[in-house]
Amino acid sequence: MVVKYYKEKSFENVTVKIEQKPDPAYVNSNELTIIVEKGDKVKINEVGIYGNQNVDELKLKKQLKGTKEMSKLTLHPDKTPSPFGAKKPYTFKQYMKDWGPLSISKTKRVIDPYFRFKLFSGAKFDEKKYTEDKEKLLDYYNSQGYRDAQIIDEKRYVTKNGNMNVDIKVEEGHKYYFGNLTWKGNSKFSDSILNVVLGINKGDVYNISILNKRLGKELSQEGGDISGLYMDDGYLFFRVEPVETAVYNDTIDHELRIVEGPQARIKNVTIAGNEKTKDYVIRRELRTIPGELFSRSDLIRSQRELANLQYFNQETINPGVVPNAEDGTVDINWKLEEKSSDQLELSAGWGGGVGLTGTLGVTFNNFSIRNIWKKSAWDPLPTGDGQKLSLRIQSNGRAYRSLSASFTEPWLGGKKRNSLTFGINNSKYSNAFDPYTGQIDRAKSDTNYLKTTGFSISLGKQLKWPDDYFSLVYTLNITQYKLRNYPIFAGLNDGTSNNISLRIALQRSSVFDPIFPRSGSNFVASVQFTPPYSLFNKNIANSANPYKTPEYHKWKFSGEWYVPIGRPMGADKNRQFVLKMAAKYGFMGRYNKDLDYSPFERFQVGDAGLTNNYGLLGYDIVAHRGYPVYESSDPRVNPDQQNASKFFTIFNKYTLEMRYPLVTNPSSTIYALTFFEAANGWYSFKDYNPFRLRRSVGVGMRFFLPMFGLLGFDYGIGLDRLTPGQSGFKGASRFTFMLGYEPD
């Protein structure tokens, strides 16, 4: 066991001696002393693969994920053998000895086109990984049609410097192709339909793994296989077996034998593990209903809906399918593990001309308003009905304070997914900051201010067409802005504006996990508009307060796609790179050309959205990492963030983000990312140029903690802030922080 332990740590030359002598403290007993000489860790100097006639050696070595070579020079794969006569990979030391330093550039890149310099880290030998890699090597051969490929010999020997060479000899065998594929036993679906779903044609390269996957013998959430076709129509007892019927030359015929069995109906649906969440809150999300035909897609969709509630640990949501072949029924026993879903927001920031600003917010994601008057239900708050209550306060003292609250009932009436949301907010921003003294003038804070009071009500409805991932949301917003000795608009220091608008949003979301999406997409298209007051009152443009009843129409579109890249790494299926692609657009229009664009509801572009997250005039914050808030389409950035008349009426934004999860356990989710962003804003269509964008690159981290929600840190470099000849990123980079939400 000792030798095995050290060999697993790459100490191949370990020796163990056991010394035995009588123990004076006890009769008929001995003392054992184990002496371990572990030696040096063994690194892999070279991996040689022999016998491969049709598959490139470098492609084979790529399959050896855990058996890497040390740094070396190898023959260029696209070139003929080197005229220098090298037939096997060169070590870097040997190349320098034979051809000298003139063949190597300062960056260690080989100038000789016949060679390539390769650097691998982690070249330590691991017996367990080596055994797994040999299996992967044969799997790769099988995927290329070489089903008879085998490793016929292997050697490991130590070099003079104490490292190891590994030689693997393979025998490829013939390359095979699919021949005739015939179906037997199918009555529900015709051969032509099954052939289309299978997607394998005569003459395709033989790959038994692909065949099993298309038949559905390897279950996947994506579906689209033969098994899914039957199981979505109740055939829970369905089976299919591929049988080779003929092998001739390089072709293999298959007979695909199907046992359809009876259709199964759901009998009992039980729920266990929910201590706080009421049963009806869970059951309304389920598509596995007693009496209905069993459907694998409904089972997967139910699992997705439960995970999206964020009340349960999604990694342990288990449907527990229990078929009963005697009566053709199936029981589904949902086993759940509740987790904390409430969130606390505590933050502080500096900037925006107000100095230090603190924020305290709480969000109860599984609230129960009907039990609010029941003392026994407070533990510590009434929970379990799936409602959402948010309270938030932000203040700087006399200079600024903001209060907001919202309540959401996701199933209005309890029968359909019709959501109802109420929201109220009140804020006051005092123009009392003295830039000369850096202090707040207390007297001015009561006489120079902008007060905002708002109310909103939203009604959302899930649609059935084009599919039930779509929803339609109507939102009525009423906001009053009251100015007193506050010159935020040109020529207007005092007055009141009443902003009344209706917003209609069509959205579609097929994302499985909102914390770290691995697949799916989000789309939102919306229009927000006010009544056209100027059609009824022609003198608005010439009135003392043209903004008393602002008018506008605003259009927005956003799309996000999540694409998994490569295969999951290791045993954890969640360890996989994910590419996020996003595009966002916004446009504000006006009804009357004689009126300027509304100063309300414009777009602020730049920064991370925290410095001015109170949004004095209701503008949308469009974050752009690597840039401060900018106000014109000129590459220079105007630091005057309070000049609201300069905020944009048009914006475009594009994002590419590569993510990798570091921690995916129930208590927290942590992932790293690298991003590229391009965005810009324009004041009018005369200035609009969709190809003139400000670009940035950077890296970041995201931390999701159940108590605090999402925390984010990004370091971005504004590429268009760099000046010619600049060394380093000073003045062109920004470190940004986000809390509780992903910025637009």
674: Cα separation from own chain's centroid: 12
Instruction: Give the pLDDT of residue 69.
Output: 78
Tell me if 37 sits within 8 A of 14, measured CB to CB: yes
Residues 186, 298, single domain; the answer is: no
Tell me if 396 sits within 8 A of 614, measured CB to CB: no
**DSSP state, 364?**
E
Residue ending a domain, choose from 335, 361, 387: 335
Residues 630, 669, single domain; the answer is: yes
Half-sphere exposure of residue 422: CA atoms within 13 angstroms, side-chain side: 5
Q: Indicate the SS3 state at residue 665.
A: strand
Instruction: Give the pLDDT of residue 638.
Output: 42
Instruction: Give the pLDDT of residue 215.
Output: 94
Residue closest to 635 by CA, chosen among 698, 602, 680, 603: 680
Residues 694, 591, single domain; the answer is: yes
What's the domain range around 291? 265-335
> pTM score, two decimals?
0.78
Decide if 134 is inside a domain.
no
Rounded distance between C-alpha atoms, residue 583 and residue 559, angstroms: 5
Residue ending a domain, choose from 259, 278, 299: 259
Instruction: Report how many domains make up the chain.
Output: 4
Reduced 3-state DSSP string for 24-61: CCCCCCEEEEEEEECCCCCEEEEEEEECCCCCCHHHHH
Residues 183, 289, single domain; the answer is: no
Residues of the chain with pLDDT under 70: 1-14, 38-41, 70-123, 218-223, 347-356, 432-445, 490-491, 568-574, 609-616, 631-646, 666-667, 707-708, 740-744
Residue ending a domain, choose from 259, 283, 314: 259
Residues 488, 559, single domain; the answer is: yes
Residue closest to 279 by CA, chosen among 336, 225, 195: 336
Decide if 410 is inside a domain.
no
Residues 509, 585, single domain; the answer is: yes
Tell me if 109 sits within 8 A of 117, measured CB to CB: yes
Residues 667, 685, single domain; the answer is: yes
Question: Using alpha carbons only, what angle is made at residue 7 by residues 6 and 11, rounded to the nearest 5 degrees?
Answer: 75
Q: What are the angstrom distances between the C-alpha of 388 and each of 310, 501, 701, 716?
A: 12, 24, 27, 34
Decide if 114 is inside a domain.
no
Residues 472, 577, single domain; the answer is: yes
- Give the domain CATH number at 666: 2.40.160.50
Residues 481, 497, single domain; the answer is: yes
Tell me if 713 sits within 8 A of 735, measured CB to CB: yes
Residues 646, 663, single domain; the answer is: yes
Instruction: Give the pLDDT of residue 239.
Output: 93
Decide if 514 is inside a domain.
yes
Rounded distance between C-alpha atoms, residue 526 and residue 191, angstroms: 45
Decide if 88 is inside a domain.
no
Rounded distance between C-alpha atoms, residue 151 and residue 136, angstroms: 12
Residues 683, 567, single domain; the answer is: yes
Tell me if 526 sits within 8 A of 496, measured CB to CB: no
Rounded distance between C-alpha atoms, residue 368 and residue 389, angstroms: 9
Residues in contact with 578: Cβ distance below 8 Å, sequence separation at least 6, in sequence order:
516, 517, 518, 562, 563, 564, 565, 658, 659, 660
Instruction: Give the pLDDT of residue 645.
Output: 45
Rounded distance between C-alpha atoms, residue 344 and residue 628, angstroms: 27
User: Pairing state of beta strands 553-565 and 577-589?
Assistant: antiparallel
Decide if 712 is inside a domain.
yes
Decide if 626 is inside a domain.
yes
Decide if 214 is inside a domain.
yes
- Give the domain CATH number at 269: 3.10.20.310
Residues 584, 669, single domain; the answer is: yes
Question: Using alpha carbons only, what angle is made at residue 441 by residues 435 and 445, rounded to the nearest 5 degrees?
Answer: 115
| Tens of pLDDT, residues 433-451 | 565 555 666 666 677 888 9
